[in-house]
Chain A
């Protein structure tokens, strides 16, 4: 038996693990994760077995199943790890307990390490669910030992990396909402943004239009190295045993993010006030007002007229004020414009635009889901809701005004998405624009950009109305969004693969219930090949998503009184 004095004292880790195990949402998340993983596995298995008529023919088909598991777990870590980690330090800040922890003899490194370790253990528990599936894949054969170990090693590196990003963001941010959002943005930038920019640069003159003869080719700035930040891309490096060496940038990023977490923990422990961008904009406003006063111009006082809640949401809580939106989105538009021009002149093609649209749509949905879930939850966590509810404003009116900033933000993001679409239209019109399927494809993409974000936004707002705590509301909304986007698609794909209906069978149209499938069909133009295509699937999808939008909107507004006064007696 180990002597107790050799066991390090890890009180924070013990407390965190106890809390995680006592939370209902841990088990809900684990069930959602397991359901999606097992359904995905079933789909991959059926897909592999459909090619073989005899049981023995299945032998050697383990490789695609293993690769599916690798990708599924990679995506699972990227989605679930920020959800369980991003709030870990911000929640202490919000409850005012971080300062108390810092007064204990525990050093900042120990605090970060114990928080980090607790989330790694929790997510490790999720990953253990895949072990029996790996065993099935291995028993089918076709996987060499190198691939197996490389895959598992890279999943561990991914886990450490996403965890480090989330813990650093959590130490940096003041509130959980911002931490959740920023974690996903950093992970998306690392795993999608950098490779996409690398792909654009790969075709640019710096690297030679046909990659391999440019100025930076072969140097440390070679785009070949860019993808090494993302462990998933290293899977291809396994045959010649370069995985360990190639993963060095990923390890460096883990160390860098943990360092950021360590320093941010102290320096940003007692943050107050609005977010830095908002503070910066307000400072600018004051500066402009001072200049106006000195020049004898009348300075307009910005005070609420008749919709005070909407006024505060738009002008004080978020960046949804017209002036601020212009300040933020003008540079974003300029960057996007240059990226689109770069993609157009480098003939990246329709797929590049589709990827960009999907990334932007995913980010837009994420922004709206996080904002939507916090619409009322922040009011609850700051204990201001009760005061608001004793005013003569109806609960419906309060909710309606609360989502005003969300609506503005949604339209701004939709305009960005439509901008990509218009560019794509202009570029493709030059090369090919021959049949009605192109029109349908463009309309499908536009439809996705217009109807999907509000459906998600209102779903998140409805969840935020029902769930009391802010952090929990955000996590549930994210899980619901992922479940709807990916889970529904997998659930529908499984029977389709098992029963293999013909392409013209209307049952295939059920796939449109999954936003991911709908966006995929719309962006790729496959929507034209669906039964009744291209117009019937378009109308059907439009009706479904508009219906979801209307359903959550009407539920939120109609039941606003009950939802806001949830602490009412029974």
Chain B
């Protein structure tokens, strides 16, 4: 079921057209990764959905409600985390969350419980009375997520949530997003960290110079681009004959011997990964490791984009 629908969306800043008629749809419960270089139009599209920008043309709707026509209704149903933290440094965590609970008109009696739940989910319970300006970047980002969870929105709009975070904070953020997806939230996330999006997203959209270059589930995009995949195989008996036999398998494009393994490139459309495993086994290969590499989003990104900006 389509939850977010964007049709021929255009956003202009004076003479500059930042978004040039993009269209896509996102089903309910999906985690949609929005990828593109700086100035591609990602933030402008997310701001339209967050009711911060009025589109110059086209339509955007969330849950069947037009964003431009009913911004007040939309705001009750979305949670927006900007690419900067946007937190009030003069408040404590408790005060900050109460502030937004009041802004979302949540009943006073329910606030404490909701805040406790949001803090537990974002692992900030111990920081409830800490001043916001004393939190680390990762904690501030998690606090921003706790803020958008207070009113239980169906759609989360996260603009570069992992930028500037250290590896640990990024991993924590990723786990948190997975948890939110399990809770049934539809999430739109823009990011530059491609391999993280590959691990996380159910669908992606690649945007450049205000135009959508590709959109859909990651597997589909790879098939469409006819990109090769890589599997790392450790063989106990990696003889030259065996390597040559693997190379000759239909669908296999190449075998690169590495220090302790073979990197086998193959076309997923021609040979399923389980069939490749079975074929190597049939050839007499005794496998210690068989590890398909995650889809190479960087390759897809580079193939689809040319580094242009709007």
* Residues of chain A whose beta carbon lies under 8 Å from any beta carbon of chain B: 272-274, 303-309, 311-312, 316-317, 382-384, 386-394, 565, 567-570
Contacts and interface: CB of A to CB of B under 8 A. Distances in A.
Contacts of B84: 383
A304 B133 contact: no
Given A387-B86, A390-B75, A565 B12 contact: no
Given A304-B99, A391-B100, A394-B72, A567 B94 contact: no
B75 A391 contact: yes
Contacts of B54: 565, 568-569
B80 A272 contact: no
Nearest to A401: B103
B50 A273 contact: no
**What 9 A-B pairs come out closest when comparing CB atoms?**
A308-B102, A387-B86, A391-B103, A390-B80, A304-B102, A308-B99, A303-B98, A383-B84, A569-B12
Contacts of B94: 303
A390 B99 contact: no
Nearest to B13: A569
Contacts of A390: 50-52, 75, 78-80
Given A383-B86, A386-B80, A568-B54, A306 B91 contact: no
Contact of B95 (A303, A382, A389): A303
Contacts of B78: 390
Most buried by B among A387, A389, A570: A387
A317 B90 contact: yes
A308 B88 CA distance: 12
A524 to B, nearest CB: 44
Given A273-B133, A383-B86, A390-B75, A312 B91 contact: yes
A466 to B, nearest CB: 17
Contacts of B99: 304, 308, 311-312
Contacts of B38: none
A391 B104 contact: yes
Given A272-B133, A386-B80, A308 B103 contact: yes
A565 B82 CA distance: 15
Interface in B60-108: 72, 75-76, 78-80, 82, 84-91, 94-95, 98-100, 102-105, 108
A229 to B, nearest CB: 36
Interface residues of B, number: 41
B55 interface: yes
A308 B76 CA distance: 17
A273 B144 CA distance: 20
A567 B53 contact: yes
Contacts of A382: 88-89
A274 B82 contact: no
Contacts of B47: 386
Contacts of B18: 569
A261 to B, nearest CB: 26
Contact of B13 (A273, A387, A570): A570
Interface of B: 11-14, 18, 47, 50-56, 72, 75-76, 78-80, 82, 84-91, 94-95, 98-100, 102-105, 108, 133, 144, 147
B80 A569 contact: no
Given A312-B91, A386-B86, A565-B52, A570 B80 contact: no
B127 to A, nearest CB: 17
A384 B103 CA distance: 14
B250 to A, nearest CB: 52
A567 B18 CA distance: 13
A309 B96 CA distance: 11
A389 B12 contact: no
Nearest to B76: A392
Given A383-B86, A392-B103, A568-B53, 17 more contacts: A273-B89, A304-B99, A305-B108, A306-B102, A308-B99, A308-B100, A308-B102, A308-B103, A312-B88, A312-B99, A316-B88, A391-B103, A394-B72, A569-B12, A569-B18, A570-B12, A570-B14
Given A312-B88, A383-B86, A393 B103 contact: yes
B82 A386 contact: yes
Most buried by A among B47, B50, B72, B103: B103
Contacts of A306: 102, 105
Contacts of B75: 390-392
B86 A392 contact: no
Nearest to B48: A569
Contacts of B52: 386, 389-390, 565, 567
A308 B150 CA distance: 15
Nearest to A393: B103
Contacts of B50: 386, 390
7 contacts: A272-B133, A304-B95, A316-B91, A390-B51, A392-B76, A392-B104, A569-B18
Given A307-B102, A386-B86, A569-B56, A392 B72 contact: yes
